[in-house]
Amino acid sequence: MGSCLREVTKVFHKGISTFRESLRMSWSNIRHNRMRTFLTMLGIIIGVMAIITLITVVQGATSEVTAQFTTLGTGRLTLNAQGTPLKRGLNATDLEALAVIDNVAGIAPSLNATLPIANTTKQIEDAAVEGRSALFFERDARLVARGRPLNPLDIEGKNYVCLIDSYLQRNLFFGEDPIGQQITINGMGFTIIGIMADTGSGDLMAQAMGRSRRNRAVIPYTSAMRLTGNALITSLEVYVEDPDRTSEVAAACERVLSAAFNNKENTYSIINMESLLETMNTMLDMMTGLLAGIASIALLVGGIGIMNMMLVSVSERRNEIGLRKALGAEPGQIQLQFLIESFLLSTLGGIIGISIGVSLSVLICRLLDVGFVFSSFAVILGFSFSVVVGIIFGWMPARKASTLNPIKALRSV
Protein backbone atom coordinates (compact mmCIF):
# COMPACT_ATOMS: atom_id res chain seq x y z
CA MET A 1 0.00 0.00 0.00
CA GLY A 2 2.80 2.35 0.93
CA SER A 3 4.75 1.62 -2.26
CA CYS A 4 1.66 2.33 -4.39
CA LEU A 5 1.14 5.64 -2.63
CA ARG A 6 4.79 6.60 -3.17
CA GLU A 7 4.49 5.68 -6.83
CA VAL A 8 1.37 7.80 -7.25
CA THR A 9 3.04 10.73 -5.48
CA LYS A 10 6.10 10.35 -7.69
CA VAL A 11 3.98 10.41 -10.86
CA PHE A 12 2.06 13.42 -9.58
CA HIS A 13 5.20 15.41 -8.82
CA LYS A 14 6.64 14.47 -12.20
CA GLY A 15 3.49 15.73 -13.92
CA ILE A 16 3.62 19.01 -11.99
CA SER A 17 7.27 19.43 -12.84
CA THR A 18 6.60 18.76 -16.53
CA PHE A 19 3.74 21.26 -16.56
CA ARG A 20 5.86 23.95 -14.90
CA GLU A 21 8.70 23.41 -17.33
CA SER A 22 6.31 23.54 -20.32
CA LEU A 23 4.73 26.72 -18.94
CA ARG A 24 8.13 28.35 -18.45
CA MET A 25 9.31 27.49 -21.96
CA SER A 26 6.03 28.65 -23.51
CA TRP A 27 6.18 31.98 -21.71
CA SER A 28 9.83 32.41 -22.67
CA ASN A 29 9.01 31.88 -26.34
CA ILE A 30 6.13 34.39 -26.16
CA ARG A 31 8.36 37.03 -24.55
CA HIS A 32 11.12 36.64 -27.12
CA ASN A 33 8.73 37.15 -30.05
CA ARG A 34 6.76 40.16 -28.80
CA MET A 35 5.79 41.70 -32.13
CA ARG A 36 4.62 38.39 -33.57
CA THR A 37 2.84 37.63 -30.29
CA PHE A 38 0.98 40.98 -30.40
CA LEU A 39 -0.07 40.53 -34.04
CA THR A 40 -1.24 37.00 -33.25
CA MET A 41 -3.31 38.18 -30.27
CA LEU A 42 -4.79 41.12 -32.21
CA GLY A 43 -7.62 39.07 -33.70
CA ILE A 44 -8.56 37.73 -30.26
CA ILE A 45 -8.39 41.23 -28.75
CA ILE A 46 -10.64 42.71 -31.44
CA GLY A 47 -13.12 39.82 -31.23
CA VAL A 48 -13.49 39.94 -27.43
CA MET A 49 -13.65 43.74 -27.48
CA ALA A 50 -16.39 43.68 -30.13
CA ILE A 51 -18.49 41.10 -28.27
CA ILE A 52 -18.32 42.98 -24.96
CA THR A 53 -18.89 46.43 -26.49
CA LEU A 54 -21.82 45.44 -28.67
CA ILE A 55 -23.64 43.42 -26.02
CA THR A 56 -23.04 45.98 -23.26
CA VAL A 57 -24.16 48.98 -25.32
CA VAL A 58 -27.25 47.17 -26.62
CA GLN A 59 -28.19 46.04 -23.10
CA GLY A 60 -27.70 49.58 -21.79
CA ALA A 61 -29.95 51.02 -24.49
CA THR A 62 -32.47 48.23 -23.91
CA SER A 63 -32.58 48.93 -20.17
CA GLU A 64 -33.11 52.64 -20.87
CA VAL A 65 -35.98 52.06 -23.27
CA THR A 66 -37.54 49.36 -21.09
CA ALA A 67 -37.44 51.60 -18.02
CA GLN A 68 -39.19 54.41 -19.88
CA PHE A 69 -41.79 52.08 -21.37
CA THR A 70 -42.42 50.57 -17.94
CA THR A 71 -42.73 53.99 -16.27
CA LEU A 72 -44.97 55.56 -18.88
CA GLY A 73 -46.64 52.61 -20.53
CA THR A 74 -47.58 50.06 -17.87
CA GLY A 75 -51.32 49.94 -17.25
CA ARG A 76 -52.17 52.19 -20.15
CA LEU A 77 -53.76 51.87 -23.57
CA THR A 78 -53.40 54.37 -26.39
CA LEU A 79 -56.49 54.65 -28.60
CA ASN A 80 -56.54 56.29 -32.03
CA ALA A 81 -60.02 56.66 -33.55
CA GLN A 82 -59.80 58.00 -37.07
CA GLY A 83 -63.43 57.01 -37.60
CA THR A 84 -65.44 57.06 -40.82
CA PRO A 85 -66.22 59.82 -43.35
CA LEU A 86 -69.50 60.37 -41.49
CA LYS A 87 -68.00 60.31 -37.97
CA ARG A 88 -64.34 61.27 -37.70
CA GLY A 89 -63.73 60.61 -34.03
CA LEU A 90 -65.42 60.00 -30.70
CA ASN A 91 -68.13 62.15 -29.15
CA ALA A 92 -68.92 62.73 -25.48
CA THR A 93 -71.17 59.66 -25.33
CA ASP A 94 -68.39 57.42 -26.66
CA LEU A 95 -65.92 58.84 -24.14
CA GLU A 96 -68.34 58.18 -21.32
CA ALA A 97 -68.79 54.58 -22.48
CA LEU A 98 -65.02 54.09 -22.36
CA ALA A 99 -64.71 55.73 -18.96
CA VAL A 100 -67.25 53.38 -17.30
CA ILE A 101 -65.56 50.18 -18.50
CA ASP A 102 -64.72 47.90 -15.58
CA ASN A 103 -61.14 48.36 -14.29
CA VAL A 104 -60.63 51.70 -16.10
CA ALA A 105 -59.09 54.29 -13.77
CA GLY A 106 -59.73 57.15 -16.16
CA ILE A 107 -59.35 58.42 -19.71
CA ALA A 108 -57.20 61.25 -21.00
CA PRO A 109 -58.30 62.69 -24.36
CA SER A 110 -55.71 64.57 -26.38
CA LEU A 111 -55.60 66.83 -29.41
CA ASN A 112 -52.58 68.04 -31.41
CA ALA A 113 -52.30 70.98 -33.78
CA THR A 114 -49.71 73.30 -35.29
CA LEU A 115 -50.75 76.91 -34.63
CA PRO A 116 -49.16 80.37 -34.34
CA ILE A 117 -48.26 81.55 -30.83
CA ALA A 118 -47.31 85.16 -30.04
CA ASN A 119 -46.84 87.67 -27.26
CA THR A 120 -46.73 91.46 -27.58
CA THR A 121 -43.37 91.49 -29.40
CA LYS A 122 -42.68 88.10 -31.04
CA GLN A 123 -44.52 85.33 -32.86
CA ILE A 124 -43.83 81.62 -33.52
CA GLU A 125 -45.67 80.55 -36.66
CA ASP A 126 -45.52 76.75 -36.33
CA ALA A 127 -45.70 76.04 -32.60
CA ALA A 128 -46.90 72.64 -31.35
CA VAL A 129 -50.16 72.97 -29.42
CA GLU A 130 -51.39 70.01 -27.39
CA GLY A 131 -54.77 69.64 -25.78
CA ARG A 132 -54.50 67.52 -22.63
CA SER A 133 -56.58 66.48 -19.64
CA ALA A 134 -55.90 66.89 -15.93
CA LEU A 135 -55.43 63.12 -15.58
CA PHE A 136 -52.53 63.28 -18.02
CA PHE A 137 -50.59 65.39 -15.50
CA GLU A 138 -51.79 63.43 -12.46
CA ARG A 139 -50.24 60.24 -13.83
CA ASP A 140 -46.76 61.79 -14.19
CA ALA A 141 -45.73 64.57 -11.79
CA ARG A 142 -42.41 65.00 -13.63
CA LEU A 143 -44.08 66.74 -16.57
CA VAL A 144 -44.16 70.16 -14.90
CA ALA A 145 -40.91 71.93 -13.97
CA ARG A 146 -42.47 75.10 -12.47
CA GLY A 147 -45.93 76.41 -11.84
CA ARG A 148 -48.98 74.19 -11.73
CA PRO A 149 -50.46 71.56 -14.06
CA LEU A 150 -53.92 71.58 -15.57
CA ASN A 151 -56.68 70.65 -13.11
CA PRO A 152 -60.25 69.36 -13.56
CA LEU A 153 -61.68 72.91 -13.25
CA ASP A 154 -59.58 74.02 -16.22
CA ILE A 155 -61.00 71.14 -18.27
CA GLU A 156 -64.62 71.61 -17.24
CA GLY A 157 -64.52 75.38 -17.56
CA LYS A 158 -62.64 75.30 -20.87
CA ASN A 159 -60.27 77.83 -19.33
CA TYR A 160 -57.78 79.71 -21.46
CA VAL A 161 -54.68 78.65 -19.55
CA CYS A 162 -51.55 76.94 -20.81
CA LEU A 163 -48.14 75.50 -19.98
CA ILE A 164 -45.18 76.20 -22.27
CA ASP A 165 -41.83 74.47 -22.74
CA SER A 166 -38.41 76.02 -22.13
CA TYR A 167 -37.86 76.72 -25.85
CA LEU A 168 -41.02 78.76 -26.12
CA GLN A 169 -40.06 80.53 -22.89
CA ARG A 170 -36.67 81.54 -24.32
CA ASN A 171 -38.13 82.63 -27.66
CA LEU A 172 -40.96 84.73 -26.26
CA PHE A 173 -39.86 85.67 -22.73
CA PHE A 174 -36.06 85.66 -22.73
CA GLY A 175 -34.80 86.81 -19.32
CA GLU A 176 -38.35 87.06 -17.93
CA ASP A 177 -40.60 84.90 -15.79
CA PRO A 178 -43.47 83.92 -18.12
CA ILE A 179 -45.78 82.52 -15.43
CA GLY A 180 -48.83 84.75 -15.18
CA GLN A 181 -48.18 86.48 -18.50
CA GLN A 182 -50.39 86.38 -21.58
CA ILE A 183 -49.83 84.83 -25.00
CA THR A 184 -52.13 84.41 -27.97
CA ILE A 185 -52.67 81.02 -29.59
CA ASN A 186 -54.30 81.27 -33.00
CA GLY A 187 -55.58 84.72 -32.01
CA MET A 188 -57.03 83.69 -28.59
CA GLY A 189 -55.50 84.93 -25.33
CA PHE A 190 -54.10 82.36 -22.86
CA THR A 191 -52.56 82.80 -19.41
CA ILE A 192 -49.34 80.89 -18.73
CA ILE A 193 -49.65 78.83 -15.54
CA GLY A 194 -46.57 76.58 -15.74
CA ILE A 195 -43.38 75.50 -17.50
CA MET A 196 -43.12 71.99 -18.92
CA ALA A 197 -40.06 69.90 -17.99
CA ASP A 198 -37.56 69.23 -20.76
CA THR A 199 -37.76 65.65 -22.03
CA GLY A 200 -34.06 65.64 -22.96
CA SER A 201 -32.40 63.90 -25.86
CA GLY A 202 -32.25 60.65 -23.92
CA ASP A 203 -36.02 60.41 -23.32
CA LEU A 204 -36.68 57.86 -26.04
CA MET A 205 -40.26 57.30 -24.95
CA ALA A 206 -41.11 60.99 -25.21
CA GLN A 207 -39.62 61.13 -28.68
CA ALA A 208 -41.53 58.05 -29.78
CA MET A 209 -44.78 59.62 -28.59
CA GLY A 210 -44.10 62.90 -30.32
CA ARG A 211 -43.60 64.94 -27.14
CA SER A 212 -40.06 66.05 -27.94
CA ARG A 213 -41.05 68.88 -30.34
CA ARG A 214 -39.79 72.33 -29.49
CA ASN A 215 -41.91 75.48 -29.01
CA ARG A 216 -44.67 73.48 -27.37
CA ALA A 217 -47.75 74.71 -25.51
CA VAL A 218 -50.20 72.52 -23.57
CA ILE A 219 -53.78 73.67 -23.04
CA PRO A 220 -56.99 71.99 -21.78
CA TYR A 221 -58.27 69.62 -24.46
CA THR A 222 -61.72 71.19 -24.20
CA SER A 223 -60.21 74.59 -25.00
CA ALA A 224 -58.24 73.01 -27.86
CA MET A 225 -61.47 71.62 -29.32
CA ARG A 226 -63.04 75.09 -29.23
CA LEU A 227 -59.87 76.71 -30.60
CA THR A 228 -59.57 74.34 -33.59
CA GLY A 229 -63.28 73.81 -34.17
CA ASN A 230 -63.10 70.06 -33.54
CA ALA A 231 -66.16 68.51 -31.94
CA LEU A 232 -64.76 64.97 -31.85
CA ILE A 233 -61.76 63.30 -30.19
CA THR A 234 -59.46 61.12 -32.30
CA SER A 235 -56.82 60.25 -29.71
CA LEU A 236 -56.92 59.35 -26.02
CA GLU A 237 -55.22 57.28 -23.37
CA VAL A 238 -57.04 54.80 -21.16
CA TYR A 239 -55.51 54.13 -17.73
CA VAL A 240 -56.06 50.72 -16.20
CA GLU A 241 -56.38 50.14 -12.44
CA ASP A 242 -54.97 46.61 -12.48
CA PRO A 243 -52.16 46.31 -15.08
CA ASP A 244 -52.59 42.52 -15.07
CA ARG A 245 -56.02 43.01 -16.64
CA THR A 246 -54.91 45.36 -19.42
CA SER A 247 -55.80 42.83 -22.12
CA GLU A 248 -59.36 42.55 -20.76
CA VAL A 249 -59.76 46.31 -20.83
CA ALA A 250 -58.39 46.43 -24.39
CA ALA A 251 -61.01 43.90 -25.49
CA ALA A 252 -63.77 45.96 -23.84
CA CYS A 253 -62.50 49.11 -25.57
CA GLU A 254 -62.62 47.31 -28.90
CA ARG A 255 -66.30 46.53 -28.33
CA VAL A 256 -67.10 50.15 -27.51
CA LEU A 257 -65.17 51.49 -30.51
CA SER A 258 -66.71 48.94 -32.86
CA ALA A 259 -70.18 49.98 -31.73
CA ALA A 260 -69.27 53.68 -32.08
CA PHE A 261 -68.33 53.20 -35.74
CA ASN A 262 -70.98 50.58 -36.64
CA ASN A 263 -68.41 47.75 -36.83
CA LYS A 264 -66.61 49.35 -39.78
CA GLU A 265 -63.07 48.10 -40.39
CA ASN A 266 -59.94 50.25 -40.07
CA THR A 267 -61.71 52.89 -38.01
CA TYR A 268 -59.59 52.67 -34.86
CA SER A 269 -56.41 51.22 -33.38
CA ILE A 270 -55.44 50.26 -29.83
CA ILE A 271 -51.83 50.21 -28.71
CA ASN A 272 -51.11 48.05 -25.67
CA MET A 273 -47.75 49.20 -24.30
CA GLU A 274 -47.17 45.92 -22.45
CA SER A 275 -47.54 43.86 -25.62
CA LEU A 276 -45.35 46.35 -27.45
CA LEU A 277 -42.73 46.02 -24.71
CA GLU A 278 -42.73 42.22 -24.94
CA THR A 279 -42.31 42.37 -28.71
CA MET A 280 -39.54 44.92 -28.40
CA ASN A 281 -37.67 42.83 -25.81
CA THR A 282 -37.87 39.78 -28.08
CA MET A 283 -36.49 41.75 -31.01
CA LEU A 284 -33.70 43.26 -28.93
CA ASP A 285 -32.70 39.83 -27.61
CA MET A 286 -32.51 38.55 -31.17
CA MET A 287 -30.45 41.56 -32.21
CA THR A 288 -28.07 41.06 -29.27
CA GLY A 289 -27.52 37.44 -30.24
CA LEU A 290 -27.00 38.43 -33.88
CA LEU A 291 -24.43 41.07 -32.96
CA ALA A 292 -22.60 38.63 -30.69
CA GLY A 293 -22.50 36.12 -33.54
CA ILE A 294 -21.09 38.69 -35.94
CA ALA A 295 -18.46 39.74 -33.39
CA SER A 296 -17.53 36.08 -32.86
CA ILE A 297 -16.33 35.95 -36.47
CA ALA A 298 -13.43 38.16 -35.40
CA LEU A 299 -12.55 35.56 -32.78
CA LEU A 300 -12.48 32.85 -35.41
CA VAL A 301 -10.14 35.01 -37.47
CA GLY A 302 -8.02 35.43 -34.34
CA GLY A 303 -8.00 31.67 -33.85
CA ILE A 304 -6.79 31.16 -37.40
CA GLY A 305 -4.02 33.67 -36.67
CA ILE A 306 -2.99 31.67 -33.60
CA MET A 307 -2.95 28.43 -35.61
CA ASN A 308 -0.90 30.04 -38.35
CA MET A 309 1.64 31.43 -35.88
CA MET A 310 1.92 28.10 -34.05
CA LEU A 311 2.47 26.24 -37.33
CA VAL A 312 5.23 28.69 -38.23
CA SER A 313 6.65 28.26 -34.74
CA VAL A 314 6.72 24.46 -35.16
CA SER A 315 8.62 24.84 -38.45
CA GLU A 316 11.09 27.28 -36.92
CA ARG A 317 11.69 25.13 -33.84
CA ARG A 318 12.14 21.77 -35.55
CA ASN A 319 15.68 21.57 -34.19
CA GLU A 320 14.52 22.26 -30.64
CA ILE A 321 11.73 19.68 -30.91
CA GLY A 322 14.05 17.05 -32.40
CA LEU A 323 16.67 17.67 -29.71
CA ARG A 324 14.14 17.38 -26.90
CA LYS A 325 12.78 14.14 -28.34
CA ALA A 326 16.30 12.76 -28.71
CA LEU A 327 16.89 13.55 -25.03
CA GLY A 328 13.80 11.57 -24.02
CA ALA A 329 10.91 14.05 -24.18
CA GLU A 330 7.62 12.25 -24.78
CA PRO A 331 5.15 13.34 -27.52
CA GLY A 332 2.64 14.31 -24.83
CA GLN A 333 5.13 16.74 -23.28
CA ILE A 334 5.82 18.39 -26.64
CA GLN A 335 2.11 18.64 -27.34
CA LEU A 336 1.45 20.10 -23.87
CA GLN A 337 4.04 22.84 -24.38
CA PHE A 338 2.49 24.05 -27.63
CA LEU A 339 -1.03 23.82 -26.22
CA ILE A 340 0.02 25.91 -23.23
CA GLU A 341 1.57 28.47 -25.56
CA SER A 342 -1.63 28.70 -27.59
CA PHE A 343 -3.69 28.91 -24.38
CA LEU A 344 -1.54 31.75 -23.04
CA LEU A 345 -1.85 33.71 -26.28
CA SER A 346 -5.64 33.43 -26.34
CA THR A 347 -5.98 34.12 -22.61
CA LEU A 348 -3.81 37.24 -22.75
CA GLY A 349 -5.72 38.43 -25.80
CA GLY A 350 -9.00 37.80 -24.00
CA ILE A 351 -7.94 39.78 -20.90
CA ILE A 352 -6.75 42.73 -22.98
CA GLY A 353 -9.93 42.58 -25.08
CA ILE A 354 -12.08 42.62 -21.94
CA SER A 355 -10.28 45.71 -20.58
CA ILE A 356 -10.61 47.61 -23.84
CA GLY A 357 -14.19 46.43 -24.40
CA VAL A 358 -15.44 47.57 -20.97
CA SER A 359 -13.69 50.95 -21.28
CA LEU A 360 -15.08 51.48 -24.78
CA SER A 361 -18.57 50.49 -23.60
CA VAL A 362 -18.49 53.11 -20.84
CA LEU A 363 -17.41 55.78 -23.34
CA ILE A 364 -20.07 54.89 -25.93
CA CYS A 365 -22.84 54.76 -23.30
CA ARG A 366 -21.87 58.24 -22.13
CA LEU A 367 -21.85 59.57 -25.69
CA LEU A 368 -25.28 58.02 -26.36
CA ASP A 369 -26.59 59.26 -22.99
CA VAL A 370 -27.71 55.79 -21.89
CA GLY A 371 -26.94 54.06 -18.62
CA PHE A 372 -23.93 51.76 -18.53
CA VAL A 373 -24.86 48.24 -17.41
CA PHE A 374 -21.93 45.94 -16.70
CA SER A 375 -22.66 42.67 -18.48
CA SER A 376 -21.01 39.71 -16.78
CA PHE A 377 -22.61 37.55 -19.49
CA ALA A 378 -20.69 39.44 -22.21
CA VAL A 379 -17.40 39.19 -20.28
CA ILE A 380 -17.79 35.47 -19.62
CA LEU A 381 -18.89 34.84 -23.21
CA GLY A 382 -15.98 36.79 -24.70
CA PHE A 383 -13.37 35.22 -22.43
CA SER A 384 -14.74 31.70 -22.86
CA PHE A 385 -14.74 32.11 -26.64
CA SER A 386 -11.13 33.30 -26.61
CA VAL A 387 -9.96 30.35 -24.48
CA VAL A 388 -11.87 27.77 -26.50
CA VAL A 389 -10.64 29.25 -29.78
CA GLY A 390 -7.05 29.17 -28.51
CA ILE A 391 -7.25 25.52 -27.49
CA ILE A 392 -9.05 24.36 -30.64
CA PHE A 393 -6.81 26.18 -33.11
CA GLY A 394 -3.68 25.36 -31.10
CA TRP A 395 -4.33 21.63 -31.05
CA MET A 396 -3.34 20.89 -34.66
CA PRO A 397 0.07 22.64 -34.48
CA ALA A 398 0.68 20.97 -31.10
CA ARG A 399 -0.24 17.61 -32.61
CA LYS A 400 2.10 18.22 -35.55
CA ALA A 401 4.97 19.10 -33.17
CA SER A 402 4.39 15.97 -31.06
CA THR A 403 4.49 13.63 -34.09
CA LEU A 404 7.62 15.17 -35.58
CA ASN A 405 10.31 12.58 -36.41
CA PRO A 406 13.39 13.49 -34.30
CA ILE A 407 15.85 12.12 -36.92
CA LYS A 408 14.40 14.31 -39.68
CA ALA A 409 14.23 17.27 -37.31
CA LEU A 410 17.93 16.96 -36.39
CA ARG A 411 19.20 16.67 -39.97
CA SER A 412 19.47 20.44 -40.28
CA VAL A 413 21.33 20.92 -36.97
Three-state DSSP string of the chain? CHHHHHHHHHHHHHHHHHHHHHHHHHHHHHHCCHHHHHHHHHHHHHHHHHHHHHHHHHHHHHHHHHHHHHHHHCCEEEEECCCCCCCCCECHHHHHHHHCCCCEEEEEEEEEEEEEEECCCCEEEEEEEEEECHHHHHCCHHHEEEECCCCHHHHHCCCCEEEECHHHHHHHCCCCCCCCCEEEECCEEEEEEEEECCCCCCCHHHHHCCCCCCCEEEEEHHHHHHHHCCCCECEEEEEECCHHHHHHHHHHHHHHHHHHCCCCCCCCEEEEHHHHHHHHHHHHHHHHHHHHHHHHHHHHHHHHHHHHHHHHHHHHCHHHHHHHHHCCCCHHHHHHHHHHHHHHHHHHHHHHHHHHHHHHHHHHHHHHCCCCCCCHHHHHHHHHHHHHHHHHHHHHHHHHHHCCCHHHHCCCC
**What letter represents residue 326's amino acid?**
A
Is residue 185 over pLDDT 60?
yes
Is residue 283 over pLDDT 90?
no
Specify the pTM: 0.57
**pLDDT for the residue 205:** 44
Q: Left (φ > 0), alpha (ψ -120 to 50) or beta: where does 41 sit?
A: alpha
- Name the band, by pLDDT with cuts 50, 70 and 90, for residue 25: low
Other residues' Cβ atoms within 10 Å of the Cβ of residue 165: 24
Q: Left (φ > 0), alpha (ψ -120 to 50) or beta: where does 188 sit?
A: beta
Is residue 203 over pLDDT 50?
no
- Name the band, by pLDDT with cuts 50, 70 and 90, for residue 5: low
Backbone angles phi, psi at 224, to 5 degrees: -65, -35
- Top pLDDT among 162 and 266 is at 162
The pairs formed by 178-186 with CB atoms below 8 angstroms and a separation of 24 or more are 179/146, 179/147, 181/119, 182/119, 183/117, 183/118, 183/119, 183/217, 184/117, 184/118, 184/119, 185/115, 185/116, 185/117, 185/127, 185/129, 185/217, 185/219, 185/227, 186/115, 186/116, 186/129, 186/227, 186/228
For the segment 225-274, what is each residue's pLDDT rounded down to a tens digit?
Answer: 999 888 899 899 999 888 778 888 989 999 999 998 988 888 898 888 76
For the segment 368-389, what is each residue's pLDDT rounded down to a tens digit?
Answer: 877 787 878 778 878 887 888 7
Is residue 1 over pLDDT 60?
no
**Mutual angle of helices 246-260 and 92-99, in 10-degree steps:** 160
- What proportion of the chain, given as a percentage, has pLDDT over 90? 25
**pLDDT for the residue 133:** 93
Is residue 100 over pLDDT 80?
yes
**pLDDT for the residue 156:** 93
Non-local CB neighbours of 178 within 8 Å, separated by 6+ positions: 164, 169, 172, 192, 195
For the segment 308-351, what is each residue's pLDDT rounded down to a tens digit?
Answer: 777 776 666 666 666 666 666 677 777 777 778 778 888 888 88
Non-local CB neighbours of 353 within 8 Å, separated by 6+ positions: 44, 45, 46, 47, 48, 49, 52, 382, 386
- pLDDT (average), residues 123-147: 90
- pLDDT (average), residues 80-103: 89
